[in-house]
Amino acid sequence: MVLNRLHLKVQKHLEPFRLSLEKLQDVSARLRKDMIRGLGKHSHHRASVKMLPTFVRATPDGTEKGDFLALDLGGTNFRVLHVRVLEEEQRVLKMDSQICAIPQDIMLGTGEKKRLPTASTSLLMSSLCAQSILIRWTKGFNCSGVEGEDVVNLLKEAIHRRGDYDISSVAMVNDTVGTMMSCGYRDQSCEIGMIIGTGTNACYMEEMKNVKRVEGEDGRMCINTEWGGFGDDGCLKDVLTEFDEEVDKTSINPGVHTFEKMISGMYLGEIVRLVLLKLTEEKLLFRGCPSEALLTPGSFETRFISEIEEPDSGLENAKKILTKLDLDWDLVDACVARLVCDTVSSRSARLCAAALATIVNRIRINRGLDHLKTTVGVDGTVYRKHPNFSDELQAAVRLLAPKCDVTFLISEDGSGKGAAMVTAVAQRLALQSRLLEDSDGEDEEEEEEEKCDANI
């Protein structure tokens, strides 16, 4: 009887995290409106979902080849990669790479201290290589003197300051585009890229006629949705819990990246910590006695969620983690902690599914199809390492996009290889364009010769 009362009280606190199918459909409809606003020529500045044109006009067709140097600025590491694309064997090889950890003082210092500011940021590209404006730092970065600046130019200046080599920048892409392109080389039906890791974002191939901010009606262009900002205009206020509001208030960027803070790896652990602390204050956990660790922001790491939800070893992992946090726990406490982790991660997966379903449904409708078969290239530690996340996300997508057959393909080093593929595709298209121009020129010359012969 006591356990039943405890369970009911715990469930009451967790209820706001449980989103019905109808609520998820409602969230999807709100995102669809924001995406349309973001694509508009005159409305995009009011959109919280920025829908940035990437000027990537095609996905790989398998004929790309060449050697490329890729620079990848991620959430915790900076990497330099040499990538070789082999057409004959239809595969991408990462020849070699160097990884450098990014110290906290660099992440929060001045832009000049970061010698090579590059991808994995929110970028507005005016062309594939000429200019890329950093709109906003994400993933815990907050370097001064970079937002609003052209990072392609900053990169060139940083290379010039070194003075020991000369490299020309061909393409600047973010990790979602890289993921889509790297997976697109393996599966040419891949037209969506999604990241669910430290942060979250997605891109997809949109019809050019709908991209009002860029001239042209023909073909398609990859759009970087920047869906992490969904809800920044307050449209998700009814979905936010008191714990989400606390996470936002104490973050380094209050009021922005609302959607990202509800579902990505940088914040999930903190949401769980706040829930556990609330239940402890209500004397529903740990005999009402929080430890110093539980009271410390950031102490409950997101990886703990994955470990606690492991099917076979989860309960034992929960006991070890609670001990590590200096909590006076019993078996019921460990079970409740596991329930909290499952509830928070489940909401993350279902919200992400609602957003992804919005994209696949849009592609289907854009193309006037009764049924769409497509592939999503996906990357990120939450998707890769959480034991239940991918299954729950895919199940929810099937419910929210019933007319779409969606395959998920995990990216192999999407940020690095994908950046190389963007460049390789750009080179292929440029070559095709030159060949077409040469062919048109030859046709015109032949027509002139025929006219001349006729006159003679």
Q: How far is CA 357 from the centre of its chain?
A: 15
Q: CA of 136: how far to CAs of 121, 142, 228, 259, in Å?
A: 7, 9, 11, 15
Strands 77-86 and 132-136: unpaired
pLDDT at residue 309, rounded to an integer: 97
Q: What whole-number distance in Å separates Cα of residue 452 and Cα of residue 456? A: 6
Nearest to 411 by CA among 391, 388, 381: 381
Q: Is 162 helix (H, G, I), strand (E, B) or coil?
A: helix
What residues pair up with 92 in beta bridges, in sequence order?
85
The CA-based angle 20-22-26, given to 5 degrees, is: 115
pLDDT at residue 101, rounded to an integer: 62
Nearest to 388 by CA among 348, 355, 359, 356: 348
Q: CA of 335: how far to CAs of 189, 316, 373, in Å?
A: 42, 10, 40
190 class by beta-carbon count within 10 Å (0-12 exposed, 13-18 middle, 19+ buried): buried
Q: What whole-number distance in Å separates Cα of residue 270 and Cα of residue 248? A: 11
Nearest to 146 by CA among 166, 179, 120, 175: 120
Residue 241 CB neighbour total at 10 angstroms: 19
Domain ranges of the chain: 1-54+187-412, 57-173+419-456
Enter the tokens of residue 66. Answer: 């060449």
What residues pair up with 341 in beta bridges, in sequence order?
none
Q: Going from the first residue of the chain to its last (456 residues), give the mean pLDDT of each consecutive group of 10, the final group possibly shorter.
A: 76 96 98 97 94 91 79 68 72 62 56 42 42 60 65 72 66 84 91 96 97 92 96 97 97 95 97 98 96 97 97 96 97 96 98 98 97 97 96 98 98 75 81 76 59 52
Q: What whole-number distance in Å separates Cα of residue 308 and Cα of residue 344? A: 12
Q: Give the distance between the most distant pair of CA atoms in the chain.
A: 107
pLDDT at residue 447, rounded to an integer: 62
Nearest to 148 by CA among 117, 173, 109, 169: 117
Q: What whole-number distance in Å separates Cα of residue 320 and Cα of residue 239? A: 33
Q: What whole-number distance in Å separates Cα of residue 344 and Cα of residue 456? A: 83
Whether residue 139 lies in the annotated active site:
yes
DSSP letters along 243-280, please?
HHHHHHHTSSSTTS-HHHHHHSHHHHHHHHHHHHHHHH
Catalytic residue among 34, 72, 150, 175, which? 175
pLDDT at residue 424, rounded to an integer: 81
pLDDT at residue 33, rounded to an integer: 97
The answer to whether 73 touches 199, Cβ cutoff 8 Å, is no
Enter the tokens of residue 72. Answer: 């990848």
Place of tokens 């010039």: 160
Place of tokens 């990538």: 83
Helix, strand, coil content of the chain in percent (nearest 5): 50, 15, 35
Enter the tokens of residue 39. Answer: 């694509």
Q: What whole-number distance in Å separates Cα of residue 406 and Cα of residue 398? A: 8
Whether residue 175 lies in the annotated active site:
yes
The answer to whether 377 touches 194, Cβ cutoff 8 Å, is yes
Nearest to 239 by CA among 400, 13, 8, 20: 20
H-helix or E-strand containing 317?
helix 314-324
Place of tokens 């919200």: 351
The CA-based angle 283-284-287, given to 5 degrees, is: 55
Radius of gyration of the chain from its Cα atoms, rounded to whole angstroms: 25
Catalytic residue among 34, 72, 114, 139, which? 139
Q: Is 315 helix (H, G, I), strand (E, B) or coil?
A: helix
- pTM value is 0.82
The CA-based angle 163-164-167, given to 5 degrees, is: 90
Report, at the CATH architecture level, how domain 1-54+187-412 is classified. Answer: 3-Layer(aba) Sandwich (3.40)
The answer to whether 124 touches 234, Cβ cutoff 8 Å, is no
Q: Is 94 helix (H, G, I), strand (E, B) or coil?
A: strand
The answer to whether 342 touches 208, Cβ cutoff 8 Å, is no
pLDDT at residue 60, rounded to an integer: 87
The answer to whether 139 touches 394, Cβ cutoff 8 Å, is no
Question: What is the CATH class of 57-173+419-456?
Answer: alpha beta
Q: How many helices (H) and strands (E) does the chain have?
A: 14, 11
